């Protein structure tokens, strides 16, 4: 900002910018579960696994619609080759127990493409105990489910 005038103009634009966007994302946004859907976020690991799998700390994010379908991502900060897109094909809820099943649709690791995954959760006190099963390996951790 080279002058008081440009500073004030910039300040005014910054103050008005949040009002230029809708307060709620559109209903057809891929990031908003339609109807009574849910968001699932969590972190899982399993240091007992052999080799590099034991070093993974997997961040999982799912957006699931009321019909049990949706999508998500799977990442490890220090293992970018594992970054993957997930397709959620079914969801089951029984009380505080949740289970989501699906398939890896895209991945930086070619051997993961087409692999099935199962994410299970037991919710207690607002926190979910998670278990992610991928390629026969189980990663445990915690997360949150927003319904």
The answer to whether position 69 is within a domain reads: yes
What pTM was computed for the model? 0.77
Q: Which SS3 state, helix, strand or coil, does residue 52 take?
A: helix
Question: What pLDDT sits at residue 35?
Answer: 63
Question: What pLDDT sits at residue 62?
Answer: 96
The answer to whether position 127 is within a domain reads: yes
Q: Taking a C-beta distance cutoff of 8 angstroms, is the pair 87, 100 a contact? A: no
The answer to whether position 20 is within a domain reads: no
The answer to whether position 2 is within a domain reads: no
Number of domains the chain contains:
1
* Pairwise CA distance, residues 88 & 90, whole Å: 6
The answer to whether position 16 is within a domain reads: no
Q: Which SS3 state, helix, strand or coil, does residue 11 take?
A: helix
- The boundaries of the domain holding residue 108 are 30-146
Tell me the average confidence (pLDDT) per consecutive run of 10 residues in the chain, 147 residues long: 50 45 48 71 95 92 93 90 94 95 96 97 94 96 92
Question: What pLDDT sits at residue 19?
Answer: 44
The answer to whether position 21 is within a domain reads: no
Largest CA distance in the chain: 63
The answer to whether position 89 is within a domain reads: yes
The answer to whether position 104 is within a domain reads: yes
Instruction: Tell me the CATH number at 128.
Output: 2.40.128
């Amino acid at each position: 900002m080279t002058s008081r005038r440009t500073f004030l103009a910039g300040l005014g634009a910054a103050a008005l910018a949040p009002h230029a966007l809708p307060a709620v994302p559109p209903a057809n946004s891929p990031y908003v579960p339609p109807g009574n859907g849910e968001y699932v976020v969590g972190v899982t690991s399993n240091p007992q696994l052999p080799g590099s799998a034991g070093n993974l700390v997997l961040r999982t994010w799912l957006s699931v619609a009321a019909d049990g379908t949706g999508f998500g991502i799977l990442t490890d900060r220090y293992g970018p080759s594992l970054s993957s897109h997930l397709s959620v094909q079914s969801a089951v809820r029984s009380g505080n127990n949740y289970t989501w099943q699906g398939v890896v649709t895209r991945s930086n690791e070619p051997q993961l493409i087409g692999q099935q995954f199962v994410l299970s959760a037991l919710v207690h006190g607002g926190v979910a105990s998670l278990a992610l099963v991928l390629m026969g390996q189980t990663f445990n951790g915690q997360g949150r489910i927003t319904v």
